[in-house]
Amino acid sequence: MTAELICVGTELLLGNIVNTNGAYIAQKCADLGLSMYYQSVVGDNMRRLCKCFRAAMKRSDVVILCGGLGPTQDDLTKEAVAKVLKRELVEDKKSRRHIEKFMKQYLRNTPEKTITQNNWKQALIPEGAIAVENANGTAPGIIVEEGEKVVILLPGPPGELIPMFENQIYPYLHKRQPEIISSRTLKICGIGESQAETDIRDLIQRQKNPTVATYAKPGEVHIRLTARAADEEAAQKLIEPVARELRNRFQDKVYTEEEGKTLEAVVVELLKSRGLTVTTVESCTGGALSARIVDVPGASDVLKQGFVTYSNKAKRKLVKVKKSTLKEQGAVSRKCAKEMAEGGAGAAGADGALSVTGFAGPEGGTDQYPVGTVFIGCTFKGKTRVKECHFNGDRSSVRAQAVVNALVLLRQCILEDSPADIKKTSSSSE
Amino acid sequence: MTAELICVGTELLLGNIVNTNGAYIAQKCADLGLSMYYQSVVGDNMRRLCKCFRAAMKRSDVVILCGGLGPTQDDLTKEAVAKVLKRELVEDKKSRRHIEKFMKQYLRNTPEKTITQNNWKQALIPEGAIAVENANGTAPGIIVEEGEKVVILLPGPPGELIPMFENQIYPYLHKRQPEIISSRTLKICGIGESQAETDIRDLIQRQKNPTVATYAKPGEVHIRLTARAADEEAAQKLIEPVARELRNRFQDKVYTEEEGKTLEAVVVELLKSRGLTVTTVESCTGGALSARIVDVPGASDVLKQGFVTYSNKAKRKLVKVKKSTLKEQGAVSRKCAKEMAEGGAGAAGADGALSVTGFAGPEGGTDQYPVGTVFIGCTFKGKTRVKECHFNGDRSSVRAQAVVNALVLLRQCILEDSPADIKKTSSSSE
């Protein structure tokens, strides 16, 4: 089956936003074994949108449109689809109730008092279509089955589109595919993409089913194995030997093979399984590290508190960094990172601590430690390690890399210093 | 004049890379006053590429193709263009010399010894076309003037494409364009998109030049005014009266009219201009609020430290929340948010503090305060406000909304409680 994507929105044609939905949906379609030959972007204009959609319906089996489902007059996507498919727009009762509930919740936070009329427009769907609930917004997604073809309409904001696709559209499309495509991703940390690719070049070239592909993520490399087979079990049989070979080559650099599991989730699990708590002491990352750990549901079992020690005074007062260290070595130094971690663990009464101090830029930096230099400290059970990193990129990029590298260091320390069999007996999670 | 963009590359259709060239070129075309109605992505396939290019030539004045100019067999863009325009491919001597020079330099850094034959293919251009030197790579850009129309071929790597566009293509197109397009964005916080649109529906409908359009961002609404005129000054004259009308309607909800300026940057500026410092006390956001403030270069002047008080014990120990408050009202309560803010300001010795406590989910919540309930506290100069919010969405979404709403509350408190004329004399930034 072939799929085609139409992204709707004048803001894309004006270059105000980057079309990340395009890459996301293309990747998912590839996972599903759908062949995509065309993507288009078209503005909020009825005539051109209809023209684009008509051409797509002629040449593709699955046509996905994203954007233009909102409450405003600009939002024309489903009107265009209804027009081309010659269907009336009718109100979907369930969607209306969802909008009402969602908006009532929303209105509690604002001085606005009533749900404006234009919101109800979002409950309209083409006659005979399937409304897809939007957990994170008001506009439902829509599936229209038109003969052998399928039209799928999705809301534009990635925060609404992605969960809807993962939970509802992907399973729907998966069912329509006769041959299944199954993939497994081995997620690897602590190694760069070009090195990873070099290490497995023979597999990439030799393997046809499953195929082997590498994807670089900030601070991580994901290796995806994708097999085509009659059913899931047959696909897994093809995948397993290659996965085993990869595990042999990368050893404990492979932190998970579970879809949707993040590095921070793995770290939280490791801590939980050993009954350990950790605290964070952050300078240049300013809370981004603790925020990422707290993003994991249940993180409260392992992280009770954290410190943002942005100024030298805060480093001294909150986590007892020595005045002499700051004076002689500076706040961006191996010694300061060590003292931040050790002092943080003490102040929080935690089993361990992770510290980050560096020059994120654009200002700051010294000859010895230019912008991009970051020291990451990790202490557990009296043993402290400090890693010196040198990152490229702007302020945001340096900070993001520092966060990932801190998580990688934490994982490494737990694995090496607290093997799984030495568990604290006090842990409630065991 | 109308422009159309065709991005060529199977890696885009597979979602392996995000199409940032699309946004870049779209923005430049908008700046030039070229109206872009269509963008497409097509793979490295001769038949589909020709079809796509033919359609574009029919409907647009300027057709820009990017990608597919490299040395490999996959690279088909200029072959397709030459075929459709019925021109021979001929070698451009200057381009050949450039390739030779460039490759000799490149070979000095690699173990490879000779220039492979396929490189010379890059010196071929359609007969009568203009070769555009590529300062950062081997494949030249190409301009083909075809009657009144123009076809522009650009290399795909952004590091080659962007400098070539800035230095050579932009000036070329500018000469052909009699009119310019200029736009200004008013960024608004503390109001939803549907309400904002309702408030300015008359302007959206009445205004043709400038046009008025709204865009929803998490917790914000952006209103863009876009004018077409002979020059920048004339465009601004058209925009200003409409901007004034919007400022009248939204008053201090408009937080900036500067391109690229974020809400957090405005908040940091407000604090700096008044010589105020702030601290953060975060429970469910776990450091995401302080991280967002620290994202602003120079944030160290206003935020010296922050607290992540995820557990009750941390709330008591670090920021002196009363045991009785936690016992009687719970950690997610108006009173706890108040005490977190006040205690945090005291502990940090800051002029003010922002606190966040709530149920981000998926676990937690009570009948009175279900998942999505967040209390945000803000204290300044002895006056504390607490805002009760009820957010929709998953854990990440609730936390993201809490962060934006905290920034909005902080901005509101500064504007109302610390008018610009009452400045602290001790501030170093004045």
Question: Quick one: closest CA in B to A363, which residue?
Answer: B297
The alpha-carbon gap from A62 to the nearest alpha carbon of chain B, in Å, equals: 14
Question: Do A315 and A340 form a contact (C-beta atoms < 8 A)?
Answer: yes
Q: Given this model, what pLDDT does residue B109 score?
A: 60
Most A CBs within 10 Å, among B44, B59, B305, to test the A interface:
B305
The DSSP element (H or E) to which A425 belongs, if any, is none
The DSSP element (H or E) to which B5 belongs, if any, is strand B2-8
Bigger pLDDT: B390 vs B207: B390
Question: Do A254 and A207 form a contact (C-beta atoms < 8 A)?
Answer: no
Give the confidence band of B422 by pLDDT, cuts at 50, 70, 90: very low
Q: Given this model, what pLDDT does residue B211 score?
A: 87
Give the confidence band of B113 by pLDDT, cuts at 50, 70, 90: low
Give the confidence band of B245 by pLDDT, cuts at 50, 70, 90: very high
What is the mean predicted confidence (pLDDT) over B85-99?
95
Asked whether the predicted pLDDT for residue B429 surpasses 80, the reply is no
The residues of chain A scoring below 70 in pLDDT are 111, 193-194, 216, 420-430
Question: Quick one: closest CA in B to A317, which residue?
Answer: B348
Q: Given this model, what pLDDT does residue A194 score?
A: 67
Q: Do A287 and B284 touch (CB under 8 A)?
A: no
Supply A269's token pair: 């699990």
The alpha-carbon gap from A189 to the nearest alpha carbon of chain B, in Å, equals: 19
Question: Do B385 and B410 form a contact (C-beta atoms < 8 A)?
Answer: no
Q: Given this model, what pLDDT does residue B423 score?
A: 45
Residues in chain B closer than 8 A to A116 (CB atoms): 194-195, 197-198
pLDDT digits (tens, 9 = 90+) for A230-278: 888 999 999 999 999 999 999 999 999 998 899 999 999 999 999 999 9
Q: Do A318 and B300 touch (CB under 8 A)?
A: no
The alpha-carbon gap from A10 to the nearest alpha carbon of chain B, in Å, equals: 8
pLDDT digits (tens, 9 = 90+) for B119-147: 899 999 999 999 999 988 889 999 999 99
* DSSP sequence for A225-289: EEEEESSHHHHHHHHHHHHHHHHHHHGGGEEE--TT--HHHHHHHHHHHTT--EEEEESTTTTHH
- Closest among A345, A318, A131 to B349, alpha carbons compared: A318
Q: Given this model, what pLDDT does residue B179 score?
A: 79
From B37, B287, B313, residue closest to A308, measured CB to CB: B287
Q: Do B308 and A313 touch (CB under 8 A)?
A: no
Give me the amino acid identity at B319: V
Q: Given this model, what pLDDT does residue B215 score?
A: 80
Residues in chain A closer than 8 A to B204 (CB atoms): 73
State the average pLDDT for chain B: 90
Alpha-carbon distance A90 to A112, whole Å?
Answer: 28
Bigger pLDDT: B14 vs A2: A2
Asked whether the predicted pLDDT for residue B63 surpasses 70, the reply is yes
From A17, A135, A300, residue closest to B310, measured CB to CB: A300
Q: Do A290 and B286 touch (CB under 8 A)?
A: yes
Identify any residues that bridge with B186 across adjacent strands, giving them in sequence order.
Answer: B223
From B213, B304, B361, residue closest to A311, measured CB to CB: B304
In chain B, the N- to C-terminal Cα span, in Å, equals 48
pLDDT digits (tens, 9 = 90+) for B305-352: 999 999 999 999 999 999 999 999 999 999 999 999 999 999 999 999
pLDDT digits (tens, 9 = 90+) for B225-240: 989 888 889 999 999 9
Q: Given this model, what pLDDT does residue A224 score?
A: 86
Most B CBs within 10 Å, among A45, A101, A310, to test the B interface:
A310
- Closest among B308, B354, B291, B321 to A280, alpha carbons compared: B308
Write the CA distances from B248 to B209, B253, B254, B408, integer angstroms.
Answer: 19, 10, 10, 19
Bigger pLDDT: A36 vs B197: A36
The alpha-carbon gap from A232 to the nearest alpha carbon of chain B, in Å, equals: 22
Residues 6+ away with beta carbon under 8 Å from A195: none
From B198, B300, B363, residue closest to A311, measured CB to CB: B300
Give the confidence band of B420 by pLDDT, cuts at 50, 70, 90: low
Alpha-carbon distance A74 to A53, whole Å?
Answer: 17
Q: Do B308 and A308 touch (CB under 8 A)?
A: yes
Q: Given this model, what pLDDT does residue A425 score?
A: 40
- Closest among B253, B254, B315, B285 to B293, alpha carbons compared: B285
- Closest among A115, A81, A78 to A98, alpha carbons compared: A115
Bigger pLDDT: B394 vs A427: B394
**Cis before residue A71, ω within 30 degrees of 0?**
no
Q: Beta A149-154 vs A62-66: how paired, if at all?
A: parallel
Supply B153's token pair: 């071929």
Question: Quick one: closest CA in A to B375, which residue?
Answer: A109
Residues in chain B closer than 8 A to A291 (CB atoms): 285-288, 291, 399
Q: What is the DSSP letter of B230?
A: S
Residues in chain A closer than 8 A to B23 (CB atoms): 12, 15-19
The helix/strand/coil state of A377 is strand
Cα B413–chain centre separation: 27
Asked whether the predicted pLDDT for residue B428 surpasses 60, the reply is no
pLDDT digits (tens, 9 = 90+) for B285-307: 999 999 999 999 999 999 999 99
SS3 readout for chain B: CEEEEEEECHHHHCCCCCEHHHHHHHHHHHHCCCEEEEEEEECCCHHHHHHHHHHHHHHCCEEEEECCCCCCCCCCHHHHHHHHCCCCEEECHHHHHHHHHHHHHHHCCCCCCCCCHHHHHHHEEECCCEEECCCCCCCCEEEEEECCEEEEEECCCHHHHHHHHHHHHHHHHHHHCCCEEEEEEEEEECCCHHHHHHHCHHHHHHCCCCEEEEEEECCEEEEEEEEEECCHHHHHHHHHHHHHHHHHHHHHHEEECCCCCCHHHHHHHHHHHCCCCEEEEECCCCCHHHHHHHCCCCHHHCEEEEEEECCHHHHHHHHCCCHHHHHHCCCCCHHHHHHHHHHHHHHHCCCEEEEEEECCCCCCCCCCCCCCEEEEEEEECCEEEEEEEECCCCHHHHHHHHHHHHHHHHHHHHHHHCCCCCCCCCCCCC
Q: Do A295 and B348 touch (CB under 8 A)?
A: no
Predicted ipTM of the assembly: 0.74
From A20, A105, A289, residue closest to B18, measured CB to CB: A20
Q: Do A304 and B310 touch (CB under 8 A)?
A: yes
Most A CBs within 10 Å, among B310, B371, B389, to test the A interface:
B310
Q: Given this model, what pLDDT does residue A424 score?
A: 44
From A16, A304, A309, residue closest to B314, measured CB to CB: A304
* DSSP sequence for A206-225: H--SSEEEEEEETTEEEEEE
CA atoms within 13 A on the CB side of B74: 10
Question: Quick one: closest CA in B to A40, which residue?
Answer: B40
What is the mean predicted confidence (pLDDT) over B177-191?
87
Q: Given this model, what pLDDT does residue B75 score?
A: 86
Question: Do A34 and A173 form a contact (C-beta atoms < 8 A)?
Answer: yes
Question: Quick one: closest CA in A to B316, which residue?
Answer: A305
Q: Do A395 and B295 touch (CB under 8 A)?
A: yes
Question: Quick one: closest CA in A to B52, which residue?
Answer: A38
Supply B298's token pair: 């120079």
